[in-house]
Amino acid sequence: MANSEYSLSVAGGTPLNLSLTDPNGSNSLSVVDGVKLSISLSGPSGPSGPAGSPSETETLQWTTSGSLRTLTGYYVNGVTSTIRLAQFVNDQLQLTLATFTPTMTASVSPSATLNWDVPATGFTVNVDNPSDVTDQYISAAASITVTAGSVSALGFFTAGAKTATPAGGVDWNQTFTSNNTTSYIRSNSTTIAGGSASGTITFNSTTAGTSTTYSGSTASFSVAWNTPTLAVSSAGLTGQTFLGSYSSVAYTVTVTGITNSANYTVTPTPTGGTISNATIAGGTLNFTTPLHKDNANNTRTVSVSATFTRPVAVTGTSYPITPSAVVTSNPTAGFTYPSLWVFTAGVGAGTVPTSTSFVDGFVFRTGVTVLADQTKTLAGTITNGTGSSKALWFAVKTSATQPTIFQTGSSSSLLSSVTPTTGYTVNLQPTSPLGGYSAVGYTLYGITLQNGDTYVSIT
């Protein structure tokens, strides 16, 4: 120690003030009279902490940055814990110390929901080791416990490489692949039902180089297989007037829940026609009798039967299933009843148009103007270029709403009311109607138009 002044009491004597030098750091000092004194040197003691304060083995730890102090750790009984959360609760500072709380999840490949014929190919585990605990970590998947279906033991799967070397605070994942023979994830279903499979994975944790089974939490995976369905439908038929008919209809076969068409067969059986262009997805039903407006209720359907075959890789055993056959309903068929107009020589009895004035075969004759379906209106300039007066006959389906106002003029702004010739109807049908066909009644209205252009308004 350095030169210091000490006051010593000598037994039987007077206190002495001595200046002592300790050249070699020894507490055993020589004095001038040859007497050897043994003394213990210590500094003054520090102040005592308040009652209830932490013991000397329980201490807050801080990091320093200039004038800032950041609370980073808590030292207790020889162990330093990271502080995960510091917050004030009821005006008191509350510390949450970091504990080992890893997160583990698992997922099935290729998906958690699979079609009936698609095998599971393995699973992947994902491990999130807490970054604020470095002396313990999840190091490996350890085992699988089956909870549904059939799942082989972990050791039979082919383990891929971990994405990172497990260590404290290191996250990693690993994929385990099945070969669907010795390693597998299977449904136990032997029916059309898809079934399911699931398992729970336990893990090993490592602390100070020693690996043990971690009991804090596990990871689970599950997979469900879709149940396949069979359906058949036909398209609606549109585009024909009441004179026309339909000769065929397309049908569509729909199989859901099966990915590979090689795993099912489809057999169509027609009623009321023959099948052409048949494929596994559908085809065309050609009607034995064309479909017209009066025979649409005749049976024209396709019955479809199928066989679904489940691959061995999905369940361990390949097996066929024959679902119930399905039948299309009769195709819906639409027909229009357009309003018409045509010129004749006049409005007298001998010039009233007949069915042949409007119809040629299964279509309307050239020269007949075809309007909208069951409309009672006509508006526009109509040209009579014959050089003499002509009769315009407006024809509306008798069962439709009929017109009541008839006007003509030189333009749409210069119109005068006219009274049409009425009391005439005509029954329209194809020139050679199909069996069971009924003619359609039309009501006629005749207006005389002079040579040239006339604006006609009928409502």
Tens-digit pLDDT profile for residues 99-122 = 889 999 999 999 999 999 999 999
> Which residues are CB-neighbours of 208 under 8 A, at least 6 positions away?
135
What pLDDT sits at residue 202? Answer: 98
Residues 203 and 122 in one domain: yes
Has residue 168 been placed in a domain? Answer: yes
Residues 89 and 178 in one domain: no
List, as one string, the DSSP characters of 292-330.
-TTSTTS--EEEEEEEEEE-HHHHSS-EEE-PPPEEPPP
Residues 14 and 81 in one domain: no
- For the chain, how many structural domains are there in total? 5
Has residue 53 been placed in a domain? Answer: no
List, as one string, the DSSP characters of 149-204.
SEE--GGGSEEPPPSS---TT--EEEEEE--SSSS-EE----SSS--EEEEEEEEE
Has residue 175 been placed in a domain? Answer: yes
Q: Where does a domain end: 334, 367, 389?
A: 334
What pLDDT sits at residue 412? Answer: 95
pLDDT digits (tens, 9 = 90+) for 438-452: 999 999 999 999 999
Residues 91 and 184 in one domain: no
Residues 350 and 441 in one domain: yes
Residues 353 and 450 in one domain: yes
Has residue 49 been placed in a domain? Answer: no
Residues 83 and 131 in one domain: no
What pLDDT sits at residue 50? Answer: 43
**Which parts of the chain have pLDDT scores under 70?**
1-56, 78-79, 84, 98
Has residue 264 been placed in a domain? Answer: yes
What pLDDT sits at residue 406? Answer: 98
Residues 310 and 354 in one domain: no
Report yes or no: 5 and 21 within 8 Å, Cβ to Cβ.
no
Residues 89 and 132 in one domain: no
What pLDDT sits at residue 19? Answer: 45
Domain that holds residue 211: 103-225
Has residue 50 been placed in a domain? Answer: no
Has residue 430 been placed in a domain? Answer: yes
Neighbouring C-alpha atoms within 13 Å toward the C-beta of 372 = 5
What pLDDT sits at residue 34? Answer: 42
Has residue 126 been placed in a domain? Answer: yes
